[in-house]
Structure 1
Amino acid sequence: MSLPSLVALPDTLQHLTGSNEQSLRSAVAAVDGLSLDAWTAERWAAFARVAAASEFVLEQSLRDPAMLLSLAESGELERRFAPGELCAQLAAAAQTATTEDELARNLRRQRTRHQVRIIWRDLTRQADLVETCRDLSGMADAAIDQAYQWLYPRHCQQFGTPIGNRSGQPQQMVVLGMGKLGAVELNLSSDIDLIFAFPEGGETEGVKRSLDNQEFFNRLGQRLIKALDPITVDGFVFRVDMRLRPYGSAGALTLSFNALEQYYQDQGRDWERYAMIKARVVAGDQVAGSQLLEMLRPFVYRRYLDFSAIEALRTMKQLIQQEVRRKGMSGNIKLGAGGIREVEFIAQAFQLIHGGRDLSLQQRPLLKVLATLEGQGYLPAPVVEELREGYMFLRYTEHAIQAIADRQTQMLPDGDLDRARIAFMLGFPDWAAFHDRLMHWRARIDWHFRQVIADPDEDEGEGEVVVGGEWLPLWEEAQDEEAACRQLEDAGFRDAPRAIKLLAGLRSSPQLRAMQRLGRERLDAFIPRLLAQAVEHDDPDLVLERVLPLVEAVARRSAYLVLLTENPGALRRLLTLCAASPWIAEQIARFPLLLDELLNESRLFSPPLAPELAAELRERLTRIPEDDLEQQMEALRHFKLAHSLRVAASEIAGSLPLMKVSDYLTWLAEAILDQVLALAWRQTVARHGRPQRSDGSPCDPGFIIVGYGKVGGIELGHGSDLDLVFIHDGDPQAETDGAKPIDSAQFFTRLGQRIIHLLTTQTASGQLYDVDMRLRPSGASGLLVSSVGAFERYQQNEAWTWEHQALVRARVLVGCPQVGAAFEGVRARVLGKQRDLAGLRSEVSEMRAKMRDNLGTKSTAAGTAANAYDSGVPFDIKQDAGGIVDIEFMVQYAALAWSHSHPALLRYTDNIRILEGLEDAGLVPASDAVLLREVYKAFRSAAHRQALQKQAGVIDAGQFVNERQQVRRIWSELGLS
């Protein structure tokens, strides 16, 4: 929301202005050397507004008018602080102190001064919510760190310098800011939640009587708290809350990094994960602190989808609601229904569930997390907009409540005067108008909260209803087999005994026997839901058969079961896809992280276009440290798995036709290859330096990946491998410019090997692609990477006709545009040569005959025998006569035969557009060209369907009879045999 409106002081507050002005004039007059003569009407108007709303500002101004006048004269009330300016002021104040009492006094006076400035700018609408929170958090950071920096050397003088046992190096404390401080979201009267840590155990040195490092830091922590927390005649700096540390108030004040890591690993509770999301190093050793946060990251963010986080947040919310009811705190805008905490819970639920895999969610400020939830498609834009608007309204309200008297409260006031102040500060004419708007936002937030956090078994107005509860006795074997069979048959199962056997097999599987109690409870909650949804399908037997292997696969990581229990829509989509395709069922069972893709229906059935695909992958990889190869490889593989599933789901749903399916799968491969090349290039250059071109310029990268076959022809299918060729234009005589120089040929060979390694290595998420390099010059016996010149010489002088046929479908996938243009020139020259047509027909026909003999159906002589069209015998869609390869060979023959006089035929590499080119040039009758295109698409659609059913590309020969006969007719008419 925008800043609350500036409205005129209401009558309720107007009467205060005269007395407030007179009180300030009296206070100033009582101090020698102070004068209000320079105050303008605008300054007095601003003072009237602020003093009427904030008793705290008025009280501090009367107590120390010199402070207020210095703020006014310096212009600090009217301008935003530059980065580091606030910290510099606190540092100057701390450095003048000679005793701890003086340090405490100076910091308290600085806090009062800046608190007045921040409230003034907030109430005069010169600062928005983000600036106010940033200044308050910056003041806390500076106060903590300056107090620490002042205390640490003096503590070392008294007790010695703490030295680490392992490193032998001096140790510094790390201060973690939690909660709103960690997120840079402090409110006007926040306490600060801190955790103290130190890197290593050891002892102090330099004094007669050494201290254990923990004792040293415990005492230092106590002195730091004393500098900040106690209320004195000068007020306080910040109330310090240490209860978020391990074991809470009963735990040690400070712990070593190892002790912290061990605690969170062994005993960390769900609410501590929630708290640790916002942890930030606010003081002490920043470098060591970063290492500590990295150590604790696996505790907060799990590598898998973690829907158990919702259970934990739901429990926390229930405890808070009980406390709110017990203490009569429904007017609490933080903890009550529709309050600030509910917005935080929504954001943190997504962070805990998805943040281990989606690094964009690993951030602290709530408004930025909301923006990410919208940008990444976790929540619709209208929902995020309402949450953002409602949250900001509540935070402005919170600041208004606290601005009155600098009290740490989020309770709406009862008194008329304070109510008038809050309505005025929020830009409303009266309390009723303000309260009406407040209740609107609380209702909207609470509604959205229930959509995310609410228990799926809760049905408002009907009490608790267990979804699928009628199936619980069957799963728990609380009824005899006859009754179980009858229930299954009545619900639509055709083979009830088999269904019971499948469920019994799951119950007795080793994975289930090894489950812990919590996991078994989750499974018992899930199976009835599974059965309840399975019977809604036409073939529940098939659904159960395909989904139970997935259940068994994820049983030990039961958070996946929670995901499906919490998201009935995701479970419905899972069953639909598994019923339609065993290939999808197997993919999800092998890689359960794909369940994440089922959460967002619109995203699942709307795969992105090529530029969006490339941008999304680029963005994902930029969030991973450059030296973390393992995580980069996992990110690439997950990206491929996720988008392959989305394409398959869209194909099954009918929202993507065949040609678009191939387009998307090809774009996906290109996006991945682009990033794989970039990764391999960085790694190889880091080791050997850059290679050079013959003109002495550095290669950047001077390398291309050429795609042949299906990827070259933009015809990738599910599970297709990649036919690749690598080409470079480096100078073979020149060496790289790195610390370990090698010649260009070696460099590019290692680059190629690195690319293949990145693509084919098996990780927990499988491999990216099978790669076939046999189409390179001289095949498997040739060099892995060719120079442009060597590639052309081979193609012109040594290549077989079938290699030129393959070149028809070759195109540059990724790499250097300059080398790509050179390759296109070579391709055009090679394919555009004038050929002897009789010899060409003979060579193409001979190669096709060999393929039919080796790869076609034996029982029908590869579709040429008399029984080739009989029902009941097999037809290989790809290899048999009249099939896909016949069409491809005709297209390749035509391109080689006629591109000399019709160079436009070389423009495209896919069969459909080459056929269109042949039609346009009048080289093939229009009716034949149309027929070949339609038959080709029909064959490929059939092959795709077979792949999704995990079946070979072989169908009954009674299908496509006329189409195959027409393909063979055209084959003969072209003179091929």
Structure 2
Amino acid sequence: MNLPALVDLPPSLQSLTQSHRQSFKAASPASAQWDEAFWLQFDRVCAASDFVFQQVQQDPTLLLELHASGLLQRRYGPGELRAQVVAALAEVDNEEQLGRQLRRQRTRQQVRIIWRDLTRQADLVQTCRDLSDLADASIDQAYQWLYPRHCQQFGTPRGRRSGAVQHMVVLGMGKLGARELNLSSDIDLIFGYPEGGETEGVKRPLDNQEFFIRLGQRLIKALDPITVDGFVFRVDMRLRPYGSSGALVLSFNALEQYYQDQGRDWERYAMIKARVVAGDQAAGAQLLEMLRPFVYRRYLDFSAIEALRTMKQLIQQEVRRKGMADNIKLGSGGIREVEFIAQAFQLIHGGRDLSLQQRPLLSVLATLEGQGYLPSAVVGELREGYAFLRYTEHAIQAIADRQTQMLPDGEHDQARIALMMGFADWPSFHGQLMHWRGRIDWHFRQVIADPDEEEGSTGDLSVGGEWLPLWEEEQHEEAACRQLEEAGFSDAARALKRLADLRTSPQLRAMQRVGRERLDAFIPRLLAQAVEHADPDLVLERVLPLVEAVARRSAYLVLLTENPDALRRLLTLCAASPWIAEQITRFPLLLDELLNESRLFSPPLAPELAAELRERLTRIPEDDLEQQMEALRHFKLAHNLRVAASEIVGSLALMKVSDYLTWLAEAILEQVLALAWRQTVARHGTPLRSDGQACDPGFIIVGYGKVGGIELGHGSDLDLVFIHDGDANAETDGLKPIDSAQFFARLGQKIIHLLTAQTNSGQLYEVDMRLRPSGAAGLLTSSIGAFERYQLNEAWTWEHQALVRARVLVGCGQVAGAFEQVRAQVLSRQRDLPALRTEVSEMRAKMRDNLGTRITAAGTAANAFDACVPLDLKQDAGGIVDIEFMVQYAALAWAGEYPALLQYTDNIRILEGLEQAGLLPAADASLLREAYKAYRSAAHRQALQKQAGVVSGELFVAERREVRRIWGELGLT
């Protein structure tokens, strides 16, 4: 962060320096030694700050000691400032001395901090951190001094339920909580204590609340009053529940009840920065955890925008009323607007994105940039503008140690501000200041501005206002139908009935007033955008169920009201795909994905996908399995939507769609295996391999079918097989040891549970384990040796066909290598080709008989190409499975002679390998590839339309005939 430049003293301030030097020398001890470098700094600091000059003039030994100790030239080490406060209070005998020593320490530290700030030896972060550390130490040490003496007088407070000794918790709010105190900040505090009870050890016990109220009053008295020694910190307790009229101290239960029942939006905003600054740190951490659900909602909470907008309007009214346009904190483009921008994102997204649950504003801005919430250029301007304003704030306050953010109107102080900010004169400084205020205000409006203003509406008519009378039934049915027809609805009466049904639904009747107001603001916008579509009837049909589903969680309606582009994308996707409409209706949290167009239509590549999921899970405590499962499910839902949206708009081709869906499954399986492994090892210890080494994890998840062939579609299940290399005769090394077979069986069960358990966000995947050795009758997990023996000696031909598409998805590299060797050994065996053709043909015939279209004899009858009969893209003759069986037959027939056929598991690249080896004519191989992609593309489209993979028999006639021809030429029947 750039520090303001050092510039020469202007002539208007140079006259001060000589008199200041003389006065200070006269007051200093005769033995004091000062070098020229010191005097240059002295002139600069004392010309700018009356406060510093007054303090060092009164007590020159203060500056002498700071200079001699080197504290003016270096930063504090960890805990060093607190140690100085502790030492200052070591000999304190009474409260009068406590107050005096705290005030003297504050003056000493304030002189040092201002000196280092004005001589550019400390940047903004260091200055704010020193001020905050001083406040922390002053509050906590005052409390630690007062508490035992208070107990001697009134007894020791104990909890009625726990019997434990009770301590007070002091929460620092605002800038103190974020460690961002300015040079003359007050401190906003909230006092609490863990539980009710009474004191013991005295004749007349006190109720715990009364005990802590009296203690809180003594603590404030130690810090706040102005005496001949100054003050420590101005204490503001108005942020506590019920404000000035509320009890000074409340129990944790009372605090939780208040925020749960009566907490207001501005209190959520304030609580973002709450931090335990004094008292019982462990109990304070529990309190903050209790209050976290009040601050951070589990869902996207765009109602925060409304609250912040209202707060800003109230501030603007106050600024205008008091003529405070030159207030660099509250005025337009001021510090508060940067804070509002950051905290808007925290309140909206922080419940789900734990990386936003932090206090320092600059750290939040960095996260907004890193997580893609705001562009780097925007964050850069906000960061620079904020720093400029905070340096300016410090310059204003350094003059006289006054709590003000108003620009001075006198030329003398204006010259001081320009000097401290590195400008030759006031006009130069003021021009730069107004530049940054203008940029901040512009960015603020992009985030906080009312969407009606953003859309450029005029007068009192908001966006979609022409539809409000229809929605509120302020016009006759005939006029309403006419308005709908003129706007493009084909069945106006039906559309009107849909709106009426929504209006009278139980969910809407149960809505609270705020929710109903949000709905009334949203529906006109919805109708205004729906009529822009070619089929507004269809849009309404698919979107109104979502509106009804989220009516009781109206923050989602605010999201769409506040983000017209997100609403536009929602309607486009729902119009294109009922599957997407259903997904968003079932899981409204997906609406978050609509906010960022570039992210929505640009899914990440495999490495970024895996890294994003790992990062997301690292923010969740390891023992919070419920939240980890929810995070996995939300991740899958979000990326599924992004892939589907990209497919609909054409930014992803079919092969890439399957790639992304497969990468997504692999990223999820990697984390599921890690979770299951960690939990199983924690319970039973680590299993051992036959060589005595620990398995870590000694386990692989093998994917078959679509996931093995990198051909996943929307809604595909996972065909999985679990393999390990544990020693069956060895036990795990934990407190509850079990043999390796049991360990890996339980590991497999845990993996299946994590994948299939239904939570609020659904399940991750349906899992099919029937391709494991011996199928449903076999063990859930197999050792690599048992898997090899089964494949070589017991497996059926169809199981070897399945093995063609099998590959390791995640797990131990060593076991993966062993699996690849077994697979190659099995698939490369010499086979009796006539017998192989017979077995493959018979298995295919059984599938057609059981799964194909009956009225066309699975696509083999003469009517198979009629428009009036259905075609099963997968199972009918000439379709997907025929191509898959031909590929599998070819791999089994020729892999022994052409091992390159085993390199890949997907049909497209195996077909390329058959062509390169000369085993299939180039024309035939190309035809099969293109037919296969065409079939799968059609199946994907059907899935997005929530339809089975069945189309009209008149489609794909040429492709099916050619596939059947090649089938026959391979000798299959």
Q: TM-score per shorter chain, which class?
A: over 0.9
Shift of 1:218: 0.6
Q: CA deviation at 1:433?
A: 0.6
Distance 2:376 2:460 in 1: 31
Superposed CA deviations along residues 800-858 of structure 1, whole A, max 9, x for unmatched, are 01001111111111111111111111111111111111111111111111001100000
**Quick one: distance in 2 between partners of 1:265 and 1:296?**
8
- CA deviation profile, 1:233-282 (whole Å, cap 9, x unmatched): 11111111000000011111110000000000111011000000000000
User: Which of 180, 188, 196 is the matching residue for 2:191?
Assistant: 196
1:568 counterpart residue number? 564
* 1:208 Cα deviation after fit: 1.3
Describe the superposition over 1:905-946 as per-residue Cα deviations: whole angstroms up to 9, x where unpaired.
Answer: 111111111111111111111111111111111111000000
Match of 1:322 among 317, 323, 326: 317
Alpha carbons 1:458, 1:465 under 8 Å: kept = no
Which residue matches 1:582? Answer: 578
CA distance in 1 between counterparts of 2:850 and 2:683 reads: 45
What is the Cα deviation at residue 35 of structure 1?
3.1
Q: Is 1:95–1:150's contact at 8 Å kept on the other side of the alignment?
A: no
Question: Matches of 1:60 and 1:861 in 2, distance apart?
Answer: 101
Q: 3-state SS of the aligned residue for 2:703?
A: strand
Residue in structure 1 matched with residue 8 of structure 2 by the alignment: 8
Please point out which of 730, 746, 749 is paired with 1:750: 746
Q: Hey, what does 1:266 align to over in structure 2?
A: 261
Shift of 1:375: 1.2
Residue identity matched to 1:4:
P
Q: 2: CA distance between counterparts of 1:91 and 1:292? A: 27
Correspondence for 1:652: 648
User: What are the Cα deviations for residues 20-66 of structure 1, in whole angstroms up to 9, with x where unaligned?
Assistant: 1111101104xxxx6332x2211111111111111111111111111
- Any residues of structure 2 matched to 1:344-363 within 5 Å, and which? 344-363=339-358
Distance in structure 1 (CA, Å) of the matches to 2:216 and 2:445 = 41
Which of 593, 600, 604 is matched with 2:600 structurally? 604
| Partner residue in 1 for 2:549 | 553
Structure 2 counterpart of 1:701, one-letter code: P
- 1:161·1:204 contact (CA, 8 Å) conserved in 2? yes
Q: Which residue identity lines up with residue 173 of structure 1 in the other structure? A: M
* 3-state SS, counterpart of residue 163 of structure 1: strand
Query: Partner letter of residue 625 of structure 1?
Result: P
Structure 1 match to 2:139:
144
- Which residue of structure 2 lines up, in the alignment, with residue 738 of structure 1? 734
Counterpart of 1:700 in 2: which secondary structure?
Answer: coil
Which of 931, 936, 956 in structure 2 is aligned with 1:935?
931
Give the match for residue 965 of structure 1: 961
2:422 is the alignment partner of 1:427: yes
The residue aligned with 1:675 is 671
Q: Quick check: 1:486 aligned with 2:482? A: yes
Q: Distance in 2 between matches of 1:67 and 1:466?
A: 63
Secondary structure, counterpart of 2:31 in structure 1: coil
Query: Does the C-alpha gap of structure 1 residues 563 and 972 become closer, same or farther in structure 2, counting only changes over 3 Å?
Result: same
**How much is the aligned-residue C-alpha RMSD, in angstroms?**
0.9
Equivalent position SS for 2:689: coil
1:496-507 mapped onto 2 (5 Å cutoff): 496-507=492-503
Aligned to 2:70: 75
Q: Which residue of 2 aligns with 1:62?
A: 57
Instruction: Give me the whole-angstrom Cα distance separating, in 2, the residues matched to 1:791 and 1:411.
Output: 78
Map 1:798-817 to 2 at 5 A. 798-817=794-813
User: SS state of the match for residue 120, structure 1?
Assistant: helix
Deviations 1:184-225 (A, max 9, x none): 100000000000000000011111111110011111111111
Question: Which residue in 1 is equivalent to 2:338?
Answer: 343
- Is 2:922 the counterpart of 1:926? yes
| Residue of 234, 238, 253 corresponding to 1:239 | 234
> What is the aligned counterpart of 1:893 among 889, 895, 920?
889
Unaligned runs of 5+ in 2: none
The structural deviation recorded for 1:464 is 4.0
- Letter paired with 1:489: E
Please give the alpha-carbon distance, in whole angstroms, between the structure 1 residues aligned to 2:782 and 2:32. 83
Mean CA deviation greater in 9-18 or 232-241 = 9-18
Equivalent residues in 2 for 1:612-623, closer than 5 Å: 612-623=608-619
What is aligned with 1:403?
Answer: 398
Tell me the residue number matched to 1:855: 851
Which residues of 2 match residues 13-32 of structure 1 at below 5 A? Answer: 13-29=13-29
Q: Distance in 2 between matches of 1:806 and 1:572?
A: 44
- Aligned partner of residue 723 in structure 1, secondary structure: strand
Q: Deviations over 1:723-747 (max 9, x none)?
A: 0000111111111111111111101
**Cα distance 1:465–1:626, how it changes in 2: closer, same or farther (>3 A)?**
same
CA contact (8 A) 1:809 1:909 kept: yes
Asked if 1:691 corresponds to 2:691, the answer is no
- Report the secondary structure of 2:862's partner residue: coil
- For residues 26 and 931 of structure 2, the distance between their equivalents in structure 1, rounded to whole angstroms, comes to 97
Q: Which runs of 4+ in 1 moved over 4 A?
A: none
Please point out which of 705, 708, 711 is paired with 1:709.
Answer: 705
The aligned counterpart of 2:370 is 375
**Do structure 1's residue 418 and structure 2's residue 413 form an aligned pair?**
yes
Aligned pairs for 1:634-653 (under 5 A) are: 634-653=630-649
CA distance in 2, matches of 1:35, 1:867: 115
One-letter amino acid of the structure 2 residue matched with residue 941 of structure 1: S
1:160 and 1:412 map into 2 onto residues whose CA distance is 51
- Residue 175 (structure 1) aligned with residue 205 (structure 2): no
1:510 aligns with 2:506: yes
| TM, length-normalised to structure 2 | 0.99
After the TM superposition, which residues 212-251 of structure 1 pair with which residues of structure 2 at under 5 Å, given as runs? Answer: 212-251=207-246
Q: Does 1:211 align with 2:179?
A: no
Query: In structure 2, how many angstroms separate the alpha carbons of the residues matched to 1:97 and 1:893?
Result: 91
Equivalent residue number for residue 663 of structure 1: 659
Name which of 180, 186, 193 aligns with 1:185.
Answer: 180
Q: Does 1:100 pair with 2:63? A: no
Give a deviation string over 1:138-188, Cα, whole Å, max 9, x none: 110011111111111111111111000111010111000000000010000
Give the corresponding residue for 2:84: 89
Give the secondary structure class of the aligned counterpart of 1:704. Answer: strand
Structure 1 gap ranges (5+):
none
CA distance in structure 1 between the aligned counterparts of 2:460 and 2:271, rounded to whole angstroms: 33
Matched, 1:256 2:273: no
1:717 aligned partner, one-letter code? G
Q: Is the 8 A contact 1:458 1:464 kept in 2?
A: no
The AA in structure 1 aligned to 2:590 is: L
Aligned sequence identity (%)? 83
Residue 535 of structure 2 is matched in structure 1 by 539
Instruction: Say which SS state the counterpart of residue 655 (structure 1) adopts.
Output: coil
Once residues 872 and 529 of structure 2 are traced to their aligned partners in structure 1, the CA distance between those partners, rounded to angstroms, is: 37
Does the residue aligned with 1:185 lie in a helix, a strand or coil?
coil
Contact 1:457 1:464 in 2 (8 A): no
- Partners of 1:810 and 1:909 within 8 A in 2: yes
How far did residue 463 of structure 1 move?
4.3
Other structure's SS at 1:833 match: coil
Residue 95 of structure 1 and its aligned partner are, at CA, apart by 2.0
Q: 2:725 corresponds to which residue?
A: 729
What is the CA–CA distance in structure 1 between the aligned matches of 2:12 and 2:920, rounded to whole Å? Answer: 91
The one-letter amino acid of 2:281's match is Q
Offset at 1:462?
Answer: 3.7
1:293 is aligned to 2:288: yes
1:366 is aligned to 361
- AA aligned opposite 1:48: D
- Could you tell me which amino acid in structure 1 is paired with residue 28 of structure 2? V
> What's the CA shift for 1:96?
2.0
User: What is the CA–CA distance in structure 1 between the aligned matches of 2:81 and 2:354, rounded to whole Å?
Assistant: 31
- SS across alignment from 2:288: helix
Q: How far apart are the structure 2 equivalents of 1:792 and 1:461? A: 71
Q: Any idea what the Cα deviations from partners look like across 1:67-93, whole Å, max 9, x if unmatched?
A: 111111111111111111111111111
Q: Matched residue of 1:414: which SS?
A: coil
